[in-house]
Amino acid sequence: MESGFYTNDLERIVEADRKNVWHHLSPHKKYETVDPMVMVEGKGMHVWDAKGKKYLDAVSGGVWTVNVGYGREEIANAVRDQLVKLNYFAGSAGSIPGALFSEKLLEKMPGLSRVYFSNSGSEANEKVYKMVRQIAHKKYGGKKYKILYRDRDYHGTTIGTLASGGQDERGAQYGPFPEGFVRVPHCMEYRGQFGDVADYGLRAANAIEEVILREGPDTIGAIVLEPVTAGGGVITPPDGYWPRVQEICTQYDILLHIDEVVCGLGRTGTWFGYQHYGIKPDFVTMAKGVASGYAAISCTVTTEAVFEMFKANPDDPLDYFRDISTFGGCTAGPAAALANMQIIEDENLLENVTEMGDYLMGLMQGLMDKHDVIGDVRGKGLFCGMELVSDRKTKEPVDEKLAQAVTADCMANGVIIGVTNRSVPGFNNTLCLSPALICTKADLDEIIGAIDAALGRVFG
């Protein structure tokens, strides 16, 4: 038996994986006949698997996470230095990287002033739900407890966040779910509910108001929304949508929770997705790109007004946020996050995202001219999607097996792209691209070249 992490016998690793590991979001039957993929190494935009095959990664670690690319020694060194100094202390105390990272983060988020650390996007969102429920008890006799969420949005994998999930294939068979989560319609213009109208954004926002009036505004505490919907089909908001959503929240005293787990930390060309739309959130949650996957960290960020509510009555032993996340006290997270943010600044990656995002959009539009199967291309910055349809007029989605055949073809040819997966029933048909923020035109040419060839082979 070899000891330590590293071994040259990667076949043994693949067998150990096949025998012992339960992969995320994966049907396992196939691994009885094909080898599970085991990733071994990464550098820049590329990863290598256990068979030594090299891939260009167009989805930043599969799930839009490794924003600054692989093999960043400055992050690894920052984490190592912090771990030998102090690896952990419970989050009831502060830490040097936690204090410094929250200060640097809040400089980028005017109007927000408190950071609560935990370690996954789901958990960060759950924190908001708990805060909203507690505010309902503190201010509204428990009545204003409902949380609105949107069709096609995703907020996590726990029972609470699945209760607020607008992707039914993620939630199916995991119920019953806790009550108090109410769905509002999506805002996807390509599959708009109101026909071909000029003021689609306004109508989509007004559809939220209809739900509020139906439920009773005095029962609704918050609404959670992705600035650009990710796994539900890369849905960019239509013009006029966000100002009206903001107006509705103010009018009915509803807290606005923006889930930046995917869009956060530069993916769309601003530090946060909501900053494109002039939104003033009460809560912002973030995870994936915060430390680019070099350590587990998530943040729930809120305003001083919300924070103040949790220390209004110091004589009441229940009048504070009675929540703990054990690993929210790990110091590796904020140490990695500080170094990650420094890289984004030093290398002007926000500018690169805007420039490369425009270039990528141009390439996708070119591909659309060539392949009828592409019904729509959407995106913001380096966060893009291509929806595949069998008929452009009826917009009938292609069978998901065909969309998966495109990703498999790209993979076989050394390019990793994504596709909406166990998301909205019948709509696992959008190819997803979210390359690292460091990508170049040559990388994007290669990615689009692989998709072009794959579409040709799968659809003829």
Ligand X SMILES: Cc1ncc(COP(=O)(O)O)c(C=O)c1O
Write out the residues near ligand X by the rule CB under 6 A.
Answer: 63, 120-122, 125, 154-157, 226, 230-231, 259, 261-262, 287
Q: Which residues contact 269 (CB under 8 A, 6 or more apart)?
A: 276, 350, 353, 354, 357, 380, 381, 382
Closest contact distance (angstroms) between CB of 295 and ligand X is 13
How far apart are alpha carbons 119 and 125 in whole angstroms? Answer: 11
Question: Cis (ω within 30 of 0) for the bond into 217?
Answer: no
Amino acid at 395: K
Rounding to the nearest 10 degrees, give the CA dihedral for residues 241, 242, 244, 246: 160
Task: Point out the residue whose Cβ comes nearest to ligand X.
Answer: 121
Rounding to the nearest 10 degrees, give the CA dihedral for residues 71, 77, 83, 89: -80
Closest contact distance (angstroms) between CB of 109 and ligand X is 18
Closest contact distance (angstroms) between CB of 352 and ligand X is 22
DSSP string covering 238-268: PTTHHHHHHHHHHHTT-EEEEE-TTTTTTTT
Cβ-based nearer residue to ligand X, 125 or 270: 125
Cβ-based nearer residue to ligand X, 156 or 375: 156
Closest contact distance (angstroms) between CB of 285 and ligand X is 7
Sign of CA dihedral 225, 227, 230, 235: positive
Closest contact distance (angstroms) between CB of 17 and ligand X is 21
- For residue 114, give the H/E element and its range: strand 114-118
Cβ-based nearer residue to ligand X, 21 or 197: 21
Cβ-based nearer residue to ligand X, 72 or 155: 155
- Going edge to edge, which strands form the sheet with 54-57? 39-43, 46-49, 54-57, 415-416
Closest contact distance (angstroms) between CB of 23 and ligand X is 14
List of E strands, 261-333: 283-286, 298-302
Closest contact distance (angstroms) between CB of 82 and ligand X is 21
Cβ-based nearer residue to ligand X, 261 or 367: 261
Asked if residues 161 and 155 have their Cβ atoms less than 8 Å apart, the reply is: yes
Closest contact distance (angstroms) between CB of 122 and ligand X is 3
User: In the numeric block, which tokens belong to residue 46?
Assistant: 């590329």
Cβ-based nearer residue to ligand X, 171 or 448: 171
* 72: nearest Cα among 347, 330, 286, 271: 347
Cβ-based nearer residue to ligand X, 61 or 98: 61
Cβ-based nearer residue to ligand X, 14 or 58: 58
Closest contact distance (angstroms) between CB of 24 and ligand X is 9
Cβ-based nearer residue to ligand X, 262 or 373: 262
Sequence-separated contacts (24+) of 361-370 with Cβ below 8 Å: 363/444, 363/445, 363/448, 364/448, 366/448, 367/448, 367/451, 367/452, 367/455, 370/452
Closest contact distance (angstroms) between CB of 296 and ligand X is 8
Cβ-based nearer residue to ligand X, 180 or 231: 231
Cβ-based nearer residue to ligand X, 363 or 407: 407
How far apart are alpha carbons 290 and 66 in whole angstroms? Answer: 9
How far apart are alpha carbons 171 and 160 in whole angstroms? Answer: 11
- Other CB atoms within a 10 A radius of the CB of residue 125 amount to 29
Closest contact distance (angstroms) between CB of 62 and ligand X is 10
